[in-house]
Structure 1
């Protein structure tokens, strides 16, 4: 799989799972920004960049 494709898959996985964790998301238009997603925690807005996407042996997810 190509690096760009893996990165996009990681972003989409984050976007799909974040609402399950109670996070509100906004998506910027384009891919020339230093972040992939804006996350609204209710008190702050965080800029998030998905850096690593891998296929773990056990299905889990870590937001840090």
Structure 2
């Protein structure tokens, strides 16, 4: 394991493929952790049951060595 590894906060626009799916599924399938979601200009702290909507801007934490995957 690389001891210099870190995490990065990234903004991800919700793709059409993820609209209607729960945050928990996004996290499980991609390995990211959702920090918060900007929806209609307002930041929300989602639960694992929050459903992604068209236009959501998802702020995710990910390992820096996985940013380009």
Query: Shorter-chain TM-score category?
Result: 0.3 to 0.5
Q: If each structure's helix is expressed as a fraction of its own residues, which one has the higher value?
A: 1
TM-score by length of 2: 0.33
TM-score by length of 1: 0.34
Ranked by relative contact order (alpha carbons within 8 Å, sequence separation 6 or more), the top structure is 2
